[in-house]
Structure 1
Amino acid sequence: MKKNRTVLLFLFVAVLIITGVWVIQIVNGNVPAIDRWTNQFVESLHDSIIYQPFRLITNLGSESFLEPFVVIMAIVLSVLLKKWFVAILFPGGILLAHQLNIFIKSIVVRERPSISAAANAEGYSFPSGHAMISMVCYGLIAYLLVKKMKSNVLIVITQTTFTTLIFLIGISRYVIHVHYITDIVAGFALGFICLWGLIYVYEKIESVLSRS
């Protein structure tokens, strides 16, 4: 278990370093090699059989869906867990992640490969808001739900389901060609940092309240 955590930590740090290199390249007006290699391929997916399913999946990370969904889940999770602070931490954490995403985009100032108002794809491109916010939102839901589970099988199913959902929402932005691959990887990495931070805050609050 300890060895697995060390490997995962190493991989995560490596992704962060690579993301930093990408940011430097993008800010200097260069296109990272991986984006040049993958951009031509994604253009061929527009009329393919997988385009429309991913066009639907991407909506699960859009503001129009997430705004009411987050409010409802904040209430559901706080009642399910019987912890009032979840109703504040859950939507508040997602809002902070959203603001952080906007802030980073305003610094990097990268144009999208294509614009689509219908797909909630306007404004700057790096990092992907869908990848970043989905990681925080659905990742936190999975973490909180697992807290109530005793069955290892159910825990694995829940974690696998939400991990797959997060991946599909993020990669959908590449498939429908409104983000580059580097935008999505960076969104996942930054979203994971935000998720880890929110889990840390949750556990700290839970620990303080349990002693009071």
Structure 2
Amino acid sequence: MRNNKIGIIFLSILLVVIGIWSIQVKVGIVPFTDRPTRELVDKLSNTVIFDLFRYITELGSSSFLIPFVIVMVFVLLLLYKHWFQALLFVSAIGLTHFLNVAIKLITTRERPSILVEAHAEGYSFPSGHSMIPMVCYGLVAYFIGRKLPTNTSQIVFQSGCGLLVLLIGISRYVINVHYLTDVIAGFTLGFILLMGSVYIYRKFEQSPTRGGEKSNP
């Protein structure tokens, strides 16, 4: 219970900070967090690290995620023998996308650079590559992890998904198509939506009228 309270307080503080950043970028002020972090991006340009993250960023692009989501819908249907998990998965990702677009249209922050081949066009705040993969891979980690046979396999799989989300988000900063505050905001908002989706699923799971196979505790 104490850990939950600490987590809620921490997320609340982050939301306040994100709100301040949103106002700053809307009026054209560069948030303090972005000022000392631009030099590192310049140093990473044209390096092996840049090239590596250029490949990683594709795992958060629509050209990869759309077929991935379609495949995962069928996987969830096969694993759970019920439509709710797949519907929640698709709905959560769709909601995250539309919320991301809406916030971008409100803040209208220009990107540090445009890179069409990396799907880096339009406005910058918050990062869609941080926000959407957080929900997508987070729900994959949750739903698939519940079906793995051992605690160790669950931890390894879920940790791998978490690391992937982190790397995809960071990739947008490294290849200089997002500011660091864009990425942090995307992670935070995506995590809140992910936790909301898990909460909805748990409520569904506790419903006495729900159908389908009972999931592992």
- TM-score range for the pair, normalised by the shorter chain length: over 0.9
Tell me the distance in 2 between the aligned counterparts of 1:179 and 1:185: 10
Matches within 5 A, 1:31-180: 31-180=30-179
| Corresponding residue pairs, total | 211
How has the CA–CA distance of structure 1 residues 24 and 67 changed in structure 2, closer, same or farther, with 3 Å as cutoff?
same
Work out the CA distance in 1 between the residues paired with 2:82 and 2:18.
Answer: 36
Whether the 8 Å CA contact 2:146–2:154 is kept in 1: the answer is no
Instruction: Return the letter of the residue paired with 1:68.
Output: P
Aligned to 1:30, the other structure's residue is in SS state coil
Identity of aligned residues (%): 50
Letter matched to residue 13 of structure 1: S
Judge conservation of contact 2:111–2:178 (CA < 8 Å) in 1. Answer: yes
C-alpha separation in 1, matches of 2:199 and 2:3: 20
- 1:207 is displaced (CA, Å) by 2.6
TM-score (norm 1): 0.94
CA distance in structure 2 between the partners assigned to 1:209 and 1:55 by the alignment: 47
Unaligned runs of 5+ in 2: 212-217
Post-superposition, which runs of at least 4 consecutive aligned residues in structure 1 deviate over 4 A? 209-212
TM superposition score normalised by structure 2: 0.92
In structure 2, the CA distance between the partners of 1:39 and 1:8, relative to structure 1 (3 Å rule), is same
Structure-1 residue corresponding to 2:22: 23
Q: CA 1:206–1:166 in structure 2 vs 1: closer, same or farther (change >3 Å)?
A: same
Distance 2:56 2:184 in 1: 18
In structure 1, how many angstroms separate the alpha carbons of the residues matched to 2:71 and 2:160? Answer: 20
Deviation for aligned residue 1:183: 0.3
The Cα RMSD (Å) is 1.5
Structure 1, unaligned runs of 5 or more: none
